[in-house]
Structure 1
Amino acid sequence: MYELTIYFALLLGLVPVAFFYVRGGNIFSSQAQSFLPFLYLTAIASLYEFFGSIVAGLDVAIWFRLCGLLEFLALLYFFCSVLPAKIHRLLYGLAIIFAVEFVFFLFYGDMNEELFIDSILNCTTYSLIVASVMYYFVKCFDMLHFERALLDWTVFCFMEGTLFYYSSIFFLFLMAHSVLISSPGNFADYWALNVIAIIVFRTILIFGIWKG
């Protein structure tokens, strides 16, 4: 059952970018289209994790680290495209912090503690998301009139889904290293929470594209 859930999550990772083009990419606003790099990354990650990790049995530690970097850059591009320039300084500041952390762990990090390192990098990514999404939500609710329900807004769904997923895995990543050391036999059950969060996240992305 656990393996089927993983396969379903990976398959679901291909749907958002495909559905984006099936719907006709030009119908979306430029802000919504700025999320496209993240959708591409989601699809590529799903393919790599299936063929690289499951089929070929490759070590995905380096890929996960690279994927974390690409996720941060894709989200930074999206937020800078959607949010006004006055908040960009904060976002670039978080990008500098992430870059310093990434380079430091690249040269001095221990790959045997990859989950611990990923949890630190994830904290910075989460800070970027919270700052950006909260600013966006405040601006949305400051508006007196809505032409459509909020969930009809593709960008809103992207924001909501991103905040949901990274909030769901925030403490998961913080505790993952300790769980792996103290109870390695139960780690798969613990990590299943991440798989479920991924499925919900990708479903929200698909919904946002459908409502676009």
Structure 2
Amino acid sequence: MHEPLLYITFFSGLVPFCFYVYFICKMGGLPNLQPAVPFLWLTLIGSLYEPIVTIGMGKDSMYWFRVYNAAEFLCLYYFFKHVIHKRYLLLFGSFLFFFTLNSLMVVILGIGQLRVESMYAPFIFIFVLTFSALWFRDTSKNDLLPAKFAKSNVVFICGFLLYYSGTLFFYLLSEVILVDSKSISYQDYWLVNIIATLILKIFLIGGVWSGRKI
């Protein structure tokens, strides 16, 4: 079950970006999808890198995950900063400062990847939850964004919320379960992340599809 589902997840990561390129070629510019473009690029690269380099070529994935962690935060930072129309700059700056500080600490201290994930997961969850709540509050109370921009953003944000809340305890407990207690196999435990990632990619597809009309 693990391997077919894994490759389905990899393939699904190609679809959002392919849809985006198709709609760009067919309709021209799609400014309502612009905030999500870096995340779509990252999803495409990750969906190609892991099966080709990590699995196919057998390369160590640790450095890839370190790069991915930083790129993932920056893509989410870009997304929320643009959908919120560059408001809450002090709050954005605070998150960026603490993320940079945390990243430097990881590099200097040489912290293991499972522990890095357990540090990163709550930080990114709080970031996504905070700015998702601010976006929903602003758009519902003040009607700051036109309706044509809101639909795709709702889909993307719901996907982010589901994924990062669903994987929060997965990453928090990974070191305890896999290393300390060894109560479950690595493959069985990683199945949780595969399913959550597949759900996120389905939401990305839905977000691109719903944002195809200007």
- Post-superposition offset of 1:121: 1.9
Cα distance in 1 for partners of 2:207, 2:86 equals: 25
Amino acid at match of 1:36: V
Residue equivalent to 2:24: 24
Please identify runs of 4+ aligned residues in structure 1 that moved more than 4 A.
146-150
- Post-superposition offset of 1:59: 0.5
Amino acid at match of 1:7: Y
Instruction: Choose which of 134, 155, 165 in structure 2 pairs with 1:167.
Output: 165
Residue equivalent to 1:9: 9
- Post-superposition offset of 1:14: 0.8
Residue equivalent to 1:139: 138
- Post-superposition offset of 1:24: 2.1
- Post-superposition offset of 1:158: 1.1
Cα distance in 2 for partners of 1:58, 1:185 equals: 24
Percentage of matched positions with identical amino acids: 29
Cα distance in 2 for partners of 1:83, 1:170 equals: 24
Residue equivalent to 1:46: 47
TM-score, with length taken from structure 2: 0.89
CA contact (8 A) 2:16 2:208 kept: yes
Residue equivalent to 2:193: 194
CA contact (8 A) 1:119 1:174 kept: yes
Cα distance in 2 for partners of 1:38, 1:70 equals: 9
Residue equivalent to 2:71: 70
Query: Once superposed, what is the RMSD of the aligned Cα atoms?
Result: 2.1
Q: How many residues align?
A: 207
Amino acid at match of 1:24: I
Cα distance in 2 for partners of 1:47, 1:147 equals: 35
Q: Which runs of 5+ in 2 are unaligned?
A: none
Is residue 82 of structure 1 aligned with residue 83 of structure 2?
yes
Q: Which runs of 5+ in 1 are unaligned?
A: none
CA contact (8 A) 1:98 1:125 kept: no
